């Protein structure tokens, strides 16, 4: 890392002497490179994994110890153990930050995890379970403080998970037929906004973290949204027949947050290049009025899902992001599989249905893998 930094500084010095850069621009470039590649010795991937697993085991052990001795410890003892654990984890991270940054990052992340558990254990101790979503809010605020102070990717991940978890908990506390659709709609759009966080290959670690989080959550959340929108059961007709004046104010606020928060996150991440998230919002909204009991409407839902998958692939090609291309191809493959089992399998019978499954997996898998490699080769050719 020191050699790389020295090479960058040498190049910048040469460019300044050649008159290609002024002093202010060179300093900004050097500062940017330092944020992407912090100075100091960096452990190998194996050591980083060991640090992460060790911090996870340490935080789990602390919580299990408190849970096992819950009846033996009084309220003061429980609070003292939890507070001492948080202080020790963050204090140990501060001591390790100079020589082992990866260990410090793991300990800080574990400290934030124990902080969240401490909130709920304290709530159980003092019988504060009536407002349990507020525990997630306090946890998110703690993660936000950690992000401001440390500016690391684990606290970015904590905040990206805890804020939508808190909002979803609020809707769950006021459960209704429409809230489930609102929640799935907002979470799906937020995952797409996270997926598009990366702008180019050598991007910051926190952007790569958000992108991977979006990739992991996208497919399950898409299935959740399709299920909530297409299979609402008896409450579906009542919701569609409701007049605008019948909607409580909380539903309007829920829809505003579900649409506004992902669009705001996308704009903060990509500014003018955030428009694909707006298109995704239109596609996700187009699924909501459809009814799975109507064959044509069910087919339209699958076509919308396929169009969304193709859009993710095109988005990845436009930005040169391999992850988005892979996620888009996976979503398209899952759309084909779900369509086959939902619409064709029962009509073919058991024997022909299994034959169709085999042909779909072998032939479709070969075709999609071939297409995926061709798309990735286009990105590699562009990079050269």
Q: Which two tokens stand for residue 96?
A: 């390790």
pLDDT digit string (tens) for 43-66?
556 666 676 677 777 777 766 766
Whether the model clears a pTM of 0.85, i.e. scores above it, the answer is no
pLDDT digit string (tens) for 158-196?
999 999 999 888 877 765 544 578 888 999 999 999 999
pLDDT digit string (tens) for 256-295?
888 999 999 999 998 888 899 999 999 999 998 887 778 8
- Domain-wise residue ranges, the chain: 1-39, 48-173
pLDDT at 195: 93
Distance, in Å, from the CA atom of 290 to the CA atom of 177, rounded to the nearest integer, reads 15
Q: How far is CA 226 from CA 182, 258, 285, 335, 375, in A?
A: 12, 16, 10, 11, 28
- Tokens 């309007």 correspond to 252
pLDDT at 279: 94
pLDDT digit string (tens) for 98-108?
777 778 888 88
pLDDT at 175: 58
More confident residue, 4 or 128: 128
**Mean pLDDT over residues 239-252, rounded?**
56
Query: In sequence order, what DSSP letters do the residues of 172-221 get, joined into one string?
Result: HHT--HHHHHHHHHHHHHHHHHHHTT--STT--HHHHHHHHHHHHHHHHH
Mean pLDDT, the chain, as a whole number?
Answer: 78
Q: Which two tokens stand for residue 121?
A: 């254990």
Please return the burial class of 248, using the count of CB atoms within 10 Å of its CB with bins 0-12, 13-18 and 19+.
Answer: exposed
**Mean pLDDT over residues 132-149, rounded?**
87
Distance, in Å, from the CA atom of 344 to the CA atom of 334, rounded to the nearest integer, reads 15
């Amino acid at each position: 890392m020191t050699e790389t930094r020295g090479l960058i500084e040498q190049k910048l010095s040469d460019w300044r002497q050649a008159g290609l850069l002024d002093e202010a621009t060179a300093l900004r470039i050097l500062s940017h490179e330092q944020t992407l590649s912090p100075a100091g010795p960096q452990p190998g991937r194996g050591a980083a994994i060991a640090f992460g697993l060790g911090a996870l085991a340490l935080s789990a052990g602390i919580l299990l110890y408190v849970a096992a001795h819950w009846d033996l410890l009084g309220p003061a003892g429980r609070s003292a153990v939890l507070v001492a654990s948080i202080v020790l984890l963050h204090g140990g991270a501060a001591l390790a930050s100079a020589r082992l940054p990866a260990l410090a990052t793991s300990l800080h992340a574990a400290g934030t995890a124990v902080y969240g558990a401490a909130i709920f254990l304290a709530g159980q101790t003092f019988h504060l379970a009536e407002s349990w979503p507020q525990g997630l809010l306090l946890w998110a605020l703690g993660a936000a403080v950690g992000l401001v102070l440390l500016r690391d990717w684990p606290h970015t991940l904590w905040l990206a998970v805890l804020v939508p978890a808190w909002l979803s908990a609020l809707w769950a506390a006021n459960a209704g037929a429409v809230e489930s659709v609102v929640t799935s709609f907002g979470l799906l759009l937020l995952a797409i906004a996270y997926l598009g966080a990366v702008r180019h290959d050598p991007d910051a670690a926190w952007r790569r973290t958000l992108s991977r989080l979006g990739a992991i959550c996208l497919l399950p959340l898409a299935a959740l949204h399709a299920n909530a929108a297409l299979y609402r059961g008896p409450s579906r007709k009542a919701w569609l027949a409701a007049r605008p004046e019948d909607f409580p104010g909380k539903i309007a606020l829920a829809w505003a947050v579900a649409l506004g928060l992902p669009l705001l996150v996308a704009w903060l991440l990509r500014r003018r290049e955030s428009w694909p998230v707006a298109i995704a919002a239109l596609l996700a909204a187009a699924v909501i009025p459809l009814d799975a009991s109507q064959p044509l409407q069910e087919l339209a839902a699958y076509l919308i899902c396929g169009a969304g998958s193709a859009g993710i692939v095109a988005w990845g090609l436009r930005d040169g992001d391999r992850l988005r291309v892979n996620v888009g191809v996976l979503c398209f493959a899952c759309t084909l599989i779900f369509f086959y089992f939902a619409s064709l399998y029962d009509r073919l019978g058991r024997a022909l249905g299994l034959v169709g499954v085999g042909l779909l997996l072998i032939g479709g898998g070969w075709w999609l893998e071939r297409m995926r490699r061709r798309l990735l080769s286009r990105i590699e050719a562009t990079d050269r």
